[in-house]
Structure 1
Amino acid sequence: MLQEFTEVHPAAPVQNSSPQQSRPKWEPPPPSLLKINFDGAVFRETEEARLGVVVRDSHGQVPASLAKKIELPSSSYEVEALAAVRAITLAMDLNLPSFIVEGDSEVVISALRSEEESLSSFGHLISSIKHYLVSCNCISFFHIRRSGNSVAHFLAKHAKTIDGVSMWMEDVPPQVVDVLLADFG
């Protein structure tokens, strides 16, 4: 399946001609896979953080999405790692067959890809994700710029309006629909 993905999504050529490059957008997974995007947002003024997770198929359809408000952890990397944990646990809860995970924290994605044990302040979260992966079929982890992770980002921002966790099956909250449509279109 990874080979299918790399055939469908070859590495983009490097272009030096234009200083203003096109804004990266969300890329759909191959037809046999689902893609899970996650993001965390920090709100220091209220000592809270928010998590956003969205699962999409190759047509941009959303089998599930969620937003969660949490107490502020010690670092923004920990917030992103907690969002990654929530993405993987959502995949397990939904019994997803095969999936790709994408997030905009290069540090967290690198830690997830690494064979080494993470000794960072969020290393325990990375270890728990890797433990979960033993029982599911995560194909790979990819770093994406925030502009390509906009739905998960807006879900995290939307969590400001909820208490605890909210989950939507085959949908996103109405406040995020325009972002979803613009992201795929």
Structure 2
Amino acid sequence: MKYPHLHVVDAFVAEALSCLQAAIFAKELGFTRLIIEGDSHTVIRKLCNSAADISVIPPIVHDIKEAARDFESVTYCFVHREANNAAHTLTRKGRSLSSTSYWIEEAPPGATSAAELDKEGLNLLL
């Protein structure tokens, strides 16, 4: 899925907005379990934590947690950059598109091979 976030200049905020959009999209598709993976320790930590937060993303974290209530189970996982190539490949492809796009049954070119690299990167990290 590619969803345009206009006027976002911070990768930290972009990562949080992507998590929110993923939760909304998964809900729309009727999924009952949700796993959100990201390579931002900070965003994942804030999603796992209920402590007060003075950063710029508390409203986004709140919205993600609200969307998460509709799932039977939700897991937030940090993944190293070496195991997150598919997400970055999709992000690069999405930047070249001018409108919202969805990849449901078929991934754009390069995403499948990036996912294979993710599996290898994850195995190296274990």
Counterpart of 1:101 in 2: which secondary structure?
A: strand
In 2, the alpha carbon distance for the partners of 1:67 and 1:179 equals 17
Cα RMSD, aligned residues only? 1.7
Counterpart of 2:102 in 1: which secondary structure?
A: strand
Q: TM (normalized to structure 1)?
A: 0.59
Aligned position for 2:123? none
Structure 1 residue 74, shift from structure 2 partner: 4.4
Structure 1 residue 135, shift from structure 2 partner: 1.6
The structure carrying a bigger helix percent of its residues is: 2
Aligned position for 2:30? 95
Match of 2:56 among 105, 111, 121: 121
- The 8 Å contact of residues 154 and 176 in structure 1, kept in 2 or not, is answered as yes
Q: TM (normalized to structure 2)?
A: 0.84
Structure 1 residue 184, shift from structure 2 partner: 4.0
Counterpart of 2:13 in 1: which secondary structure?
A: helix
The alignment of Structure 1 onto Structure 2 pairs a total of residues equal to: 120
Match of 2:88 among 148, 153, 172: 153
- The 8 Å contact of residues 85 and 117 in structure 2, kept in 1 or not, is answered as no
Map 1:144-183 → 2, pairs under 5 A: 144-183=79-118
Aligned position for 1:7? none
- The 8 Å contact of residues 118 and 127 in structure 1, kept in 2 or not, is answered as no
Counterpart of 2:103 in 1: which secondary structure?
A: strand
Larger Rg: 1
Q: 172-181 or 137-146, which moves further after superposition?
A: 172-181
Deviations 1:26-85 (A, max 9, x none): xxxxxxxxxxxxxxxxxxxxxxxxxxxxxxxxxxxxxxxx12332232422111110110
Q: Which runs of 5+ in 2 are unaligned?
A: 121-126
In 2, the alpha carbon distance for the partners of 1:109 and 1:119 equals 16
Q: Which has the higher contact order (CA 8 A, sep 6+)?
A: 2
Give the AA of the match of 2:91.
Answer: A
In 2, the alpha carbon distance for the partners of 1:139 and 1:68 equals 22
- The 8 Å contact of residues 103 and 143 in structure 1, kept in 2 or not, is answered as yes
Aligned position for 1:46? none
- The 8 Å contact of residues 113 and 141 in structure 1, kept in 2 or not, is answered as yes
Give the AA of the match of 1:108.
Answer: V
Counterpart of 1:139 in 2: which secondary structure?
A: strand
- Give the fraction of aligned pairs with identical amino acids, expressed as a percent: 23
